[in-house]
Amino acid sequence: MHFKYLKGDELMQKIAFFKLAATVLILSVFIISLTSCTTEKPNRPFNQIVAYTPGTIKPSASQSDLDKSVTSFYEKWKVHYLRVVPGSKPLQMYLHFNPEAADWVEPKNTVCRSEGQGYGMITVALMAGYDREAKKIFDAMFRFVKAHPSSINTNLMAWQQVLLPDGRIVTSENGQEETPSDSATDGDLDIAYALLLADTQWGSKGEINYSEEALKILHATLESVVNLDENILLLGDWVKAKQQEDKTGLYIITTRSSDFLLGHLKAFANYDLENKDRWLAIHHKMQEIIMDQYKKWSPKTGLIADFLIKNKDTGKYKPAKGYLLEDDYDGDYNWNACRIPWRYPIDYLVNGDTSILEQLSVLNSWIKKATDSNPLNIKPGYFISTGLEGQAIPDRNWQDMSFIAPFAVAAMIDKSNQEWLDAIWRLMTENENFSFENGYYFDNCIRMQVMLILTGHWWQPGR
C-alpha cells in the first residue's frame, strides 16, 4: 500500500472532499452526544502526565503547547475517521479505513479493518478526560468489534469489513458479499490492550465488563494465534486452522515483527495471571528474536524485516525471502516494520526494560546519519534481505509520515537525540505539506498515537 502526499489540483480536490466528509461526520458525532446526558469521569484523564523512565526525553516545547498539538490533531482525527453504523441500537461505531476513497484500497468498499479499530479504541481511551464522550465512543466501537467476529475464533475480530450497496456493513474478503473472514493479530492485541485501558479508566462494572472481554481475547489469542512450541505470535487465527493446507510448512514458523508489542505483553501478563508465565515467555522470545535479527542481519542499521521465518537448521529466525504474504519486500523494512520505531521503545519508556536498547540505539544512530539529521530524507522502505542493508527501496519517490513519525518515539530513549526528535516533531506539527488533510488513514492513525506518546500521555493499564 502506498500512502503518498498529493500536490496541485489533485490536492485541492482532496481538500474539498475532506470538507464535505467532515460535515457529514460532524453530524455523526453529534448523534453520540444525544445518546446520553451523563459522562463518566476517567481515573486517568488526559491531563495527567506520565513520568517515563529517567533519562528519556520529550520534544522541546511547553507541556501546554504539546497538549494543544495533540488535542488539535485529535479533533480532526475524530471527525474524519469515526463513523456511526446507521440504525445501530445500541450504538455501534467504527474507524473508517478509507474515507478518501483512495485508489490503492482493495476492495474499494472497505470501511474498517481490525487494525484500525484497535488504533481507534486505544486513542479514545487515552483521550478520556479531554473528550467527555470518550466512554460512549469506546463502548460503541467495541460493540462493532463484537458484531464482526472471526469465522475461526469468535472471540477475535474479523480483519476486514465492507459497505454493501444495500447499506449493510458486513465482514467480507472480496467486498462483494458477506463472507467468512479470519483474524489479524495486531488488531486483536490492540483491542485487548484498549479494553485494559478502559478497565483502568472506568472500571468493569458497567454494561461492558472490559476486563472480562479483554481476557476472552487474550485466551483466544493463546489458543488460536500463538505457536506454543515456539512462543511466537502467528499472523492470525487462520495459520493454525489451515496448517494442513500449508504445503510449505512456513506459516506456522513465521511471525510479523510489527506484532512484537512488548509493552502490551507486560500488561497482558499483569492481567491474565493464569497465563502470566506464557505471556512473559512470548515477551522474552520477541526480545530474543529482535536481538538475533539485529546482530545477524542489520548490525549497521538496527532495521528489522516485516516477516521473520525460523531457520530449521539453526533454530534462529531470519527475514523472509521474496514474496511471503504481501509483496516482494516482505523480508525488508517495509509497510509493516515501519511501525517498529514506535512500537518497540514503549517497553523501555514506560517499564524501563533495557533488553533491546542496543538495537534501538543503533537504529537511532543510523537513521540520523543516513538522513543527515533531516527527517524529510527518511525513505518509505529500506532493504535488509533483498538488497544492500539500509539501501532505500527504489521507485518510492515520496515522503510518508507512517515511516517518519515512528522514529520520534525511538529518539526519546536518549538525550543525544534531542535535536533529531525536535526536528521530527516540527515536521509533524508545523509543516503544511504534512498536515492532517494531506494524510491517509495509516499515517494519520500512527501519527495520532505517536503524538500521545511523545507528549507524555501513554501509560500501562494496571489493576
Which residues have a catalytic role annotated?
115, 186
DSSP for residue 327: -
Distance CA 369, CA 407 (A): 13
Q: What one-letter code names the amino acid at 114?
A: S
Distance CA 228, CA 287 (A): 16
The residues that bridge with 113 in the sheet, in sequence order, are 160
The secondary structure of 141-190 as a DSSP string is HHHHHHHSB-SS-TTSB-SEEEE-TTS-EEE-SSSSS-------HHHHHH
C-alpha cell at 180: 467468512
Task: Identify whether the C-beta of residue 344 lies closer than 8 Å to the C-beta of residue 410.
Answer: yes
How far is the CA of 144 from the CAs of 22, 92, 195, 359, 429, in angstroms? 22, 5, 14, 38, 32
Distance CA 171, CA 162 (A): 6
Task: Identify whether the C-beta of residue 260 lies closer than 8 Å to the C-beta of residue 290.
Answer: yes
Backbone dihedral angles phi then psi of residue 408, each to the nearest 5 degrees: -65, -40
Query: End-to-end alpha-carbon separation of the chain, Å?
Result: 39
The secondary structure of 23-80 as a DSSP string is HHHHHHHHHHHHS-S-----SS-TTSPP--STT----SS-HHHHHHHHHHHHHHHHHH
Distance CA 290, CA 144 (A): 34
C-alpha cell at 264: 502490551
Task: Identify whether the C-beta of residue 293 lies closer than 8 Å to the C-beta of residue 376.
Answer: no
Helix locations, 346-411, DSSP H: 346-351, 357-370, 401-404, 406-411
Beta strands in 230-349 (DSSP E): 232-233, 254-256, 307-310, 317-319
Q: What one-letter code names the amino acid at 405?
A: A
The secondary structure of 348-364 as a DSSP string is HHHH---TTHHHHHHHH
